[in-house]
C-alpha cells in the first residue's frame, strides 16, 4: 500500500490508505465527545471523555492533515461559538483549540501548514472538474473523471484518479440529477438538524472534509472484487465512513417533514451545480454513449489504443479533434465501436483495421510483424523499436512512414 510521508515522517492512516480519510473520521467524532462532556458532568464520566478527546486530537495530529485540522477548528467554532454564545462555552472552545494546536505541534505537523504544490494542484483539479461537468452535465461515468481531467484539462505534471473532492467527483461522474439528490438531502438534513448540535456539526465536518479530499471514493467503495487495488481493511473503513455520513443525514432528517425547508434545500442543491456552468470551456471533451470521448475540433477520426498508450499520448496525435474510447480498446473485441471513415490505430489495435475495410487508416506503433492491409494510408513508428518489416512493407507500397514517438 502507498505510504504518505511529510519531511521524512510517516503520516498515519490508521487503516485508511489516505491519512486525510482517517482525519475526516476523527474530526467527525469530536463533536460527540464534546456533547458527552456536557451531558455527563460527573467526574467518573468526564475523565474517560477527556481522555478520548485527547487521544482523538493526537490521532488527528498524526495524520498531518491540514484539512483535518481546519475542519476541527470549524467544528469548534460551530459547536462552541455559534451554537450557544456564553463565557463558559467560549472558554471550553478556546481550551480545546489550544490542545489541538499543541497536539499538532508535538507531532511536528505544523510545518506542513504552507501553500505547497499539493494545495495549488487541488485548485487546478477542481477547475478542471468544474469544466468537465459543464461539458457533460449528465456525467462522464463511474471512475472516469480523473482520467479525463488528467489527459485533457491538466498540465502533464498533475495526474489524478479522482477530482480530490468527493462532491465534485460525484457530480462530474454521475451527473446533475445525482448531484441534486446528493446536495438536496445534505442541505435538508442541515436545515432540519438544529435540535442535534453534535450530529449536525459532525455532518458539516464530514461534508467539509469531502470538499478537499475524496473521502467517499467510488473506485474503492464499489470495487468489491479488488478493493481498488488496496486492502480490504481500507475498503471496510471507507464504507464505514460513508455509512456514518449517510446515517447522520437520515438521523437529522427524521421527524415531521418541512416542505419549506425541503424547497430551500432543493433550490440550493440545483443552484450549486448550475453555477459550475460558469467554468465551461470549449477545450473540454464530451462523452459519447458513456464510453467514448469527442475531442474539440473538426476531425471525425476514430482513435483506438491499447494498454501501452495513455489518453494523453493519444490526444497529442489528434490536434484537430476526433473520437476515442475512455479506456483501452485492446481487449474489447466485442465492443461496437462508432462508425468512421478515418481511423488512427495505436499498437495492438492495428488488428481492428479489418473491421473498417473501406476506411483510411493510420497506424501508430503497430506490432513489428503486422501485415499491412490495403487500407493503410500512413504508418507512424516508435524510435528504437523493431520496425524493419513494417518499413519494408511501407516502402514497397509507397505508404508514408515516419517516426513520431
Could you confirm whether domain 286-403 is CATH 3.40.50? Answer: yes
Placement of cell 461537468 in the chain: 133
Q: Of the candidates 148, 167, 178, 33, which has an alpha carbon nearest to the alpha carbon of residue 96?
A: 33
User: What is the chain's pLDDT, residue by residue, as a tens digit (405 residues)?
Assistant: 568 988 889 999 999 999 999 999 999 999 999 999 999 999 999 999 999 999 999 999 999 999 999 999 999 999 998 766 678 888 999 999 999 999 999 999 999 998 889 899 999 999 999 999 999 999 999 999 999 999 999 998 999 999 999 999 999 999 999 999 999 999 999 999 999 999 999 999 999 999 999 999 999 999 999 999 999 999 999 999 999 999 999 999 999 999 999 999 999 999 999 999 999 998 899 998 878 999 988 888 899 999 988 888 888 888 888 999 998 887 666 667 888 889 999 998 998 888 888 899 999 999 888 889 888 999 998 887 778 888 888 888 898 888 876
DSSP letter string, 194-221: TT-HHHHHHHHHHHHHHHHS-SS-HHHH
Instruction: Please state whether the predicted TM-score (pTM) of the whole model is above 0.85.
Output: yes
Rg, Å, the chain Cα set: 26
User: Residue 276 has which C-alpha cell?
Assistant: 459550475
Domain ranges of the chain: 5-112, 117-279, 286-403
CA distances from 138 to 120, 171, 273, 279 (A): 28, 9, 11, 16
**Contacts (Cβ under 8 Å, ≥6 apart) of 160:** 125, 146, 149, 150, 154
Q: What is the DSSP letter of 304?
A: E
- Rounded to 5 degrees, φ, ψ at 3 are -110, 130
Amino acid at each position: 500500500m502507498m505510504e504518505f510521508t511529510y519531511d521524512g515522517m510517516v503520516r498515519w492512516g490508521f487503516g485508511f490508505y489516505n491519512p486525510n480519510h482517517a482525519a475526516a473520521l476523527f474530526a467527525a467524532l469530536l463533536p460527540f465527545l464534546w456533547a458527552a462532556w456536557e451531558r455527563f458532568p460527573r467526574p467518573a464520566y468526564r475523565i474517560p471523555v477527556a481522555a478520548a478527546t485527547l487521544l482523538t486530537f493526537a490521532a488527528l495530529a498524526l495524520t498531518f492533515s491540514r484539512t483535518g485540522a481546519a475542519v476541527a477548528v470549524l467544528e469548534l467554532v460551530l459547536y462552541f461559538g455559534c451554537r450557544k454564545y456564553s463565557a463558559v462555552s467560549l472558554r471550553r472552545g478556546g481550551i480545546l483549540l489550544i490542545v489541538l494546536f499543541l497536539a499538532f505541534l508535538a507531532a511536528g505537523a505544523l510545518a506542513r501548514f504552507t501553500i505547497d504544490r499539493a494545495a495549488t494542484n487541488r485548485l487546478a483539479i477542481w477547475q478542471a472538474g468544474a469544466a468537465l461537468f459543464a461539458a457533460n452535465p449528465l456525467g462522464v461515468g463511474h471512475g472516469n473523471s480523473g482520467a479525463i481531467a488528467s489527459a485533457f484539462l491538466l498540465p502533464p505534471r498533475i495526474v489524478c484518479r479522482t477530482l480530490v473532492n468527493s462532491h465534485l467527483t460525484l457530480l462530474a461522474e454521475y451527473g446533475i440529477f445525482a448531484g441534486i439528490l446528493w446536495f438536496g438531502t445534505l442541505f435538508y438534513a442541515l436545515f432540519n438538524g438544529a435540535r442535534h448540535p453534535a450530529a449536525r456539526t459532525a455532518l458539516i465536518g464530514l461534508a467539509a472534509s469531502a470538499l478537499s479530499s475524496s473521502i467517499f471514493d467510488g473506485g474503492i467503495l464499489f470495487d468489491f472484487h479488488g478493493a481498488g487495488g488496496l486492502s480490504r481493511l481500507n475498503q471496510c473503513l471507507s464504507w464505514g465512513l460513508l455509512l456514518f455520513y449517510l446515517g447522520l443525514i437520515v438521523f437529522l432528517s427524521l421527524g415531521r417533514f418541512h416542505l419549506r425547508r425541503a424547497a430551500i434545500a432543493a433550490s440550493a442543491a440545483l443552484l450549486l451545480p448550475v453555477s459550475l456552468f460558469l467554468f465551461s470551456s470549449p477545450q473540454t471533451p464530451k462523452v459519447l454513449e458513456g464510453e467514448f470521448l469527442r475531442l474539440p475540433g473538426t476531425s471525425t477520426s476514430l482513435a483506438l489504443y491499447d494498454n501501452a498508450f495513455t489518453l494523453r499520448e493519444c490526444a497529442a496525435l489528434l490536434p484537430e479533434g476526433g473520437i476515442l474510447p475512455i479506456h483501452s480498446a485492446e481487449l474489447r473485441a466485442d465492443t461496437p465501436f462508432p462508425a468512421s471513415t478515418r481511423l488512427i490505430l495505436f499498437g495492438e489495435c492495428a488488428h481492428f483495421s479489418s473491421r473498417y475495410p473501406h476506411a483510411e487508416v493510420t497506424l501508430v506503433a503497430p506490432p513489428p510483424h503486422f501485415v499491412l492491409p490495403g487500407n493503410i494510408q500512413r504508418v507512424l513508428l516508435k524510435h528504437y523499436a523493431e520496425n524493419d518489416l513494417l518499413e519494408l512493407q511501407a516502402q514497397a507500397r509507397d505508404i508514408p512512414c515516419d517516426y513520431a514517438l
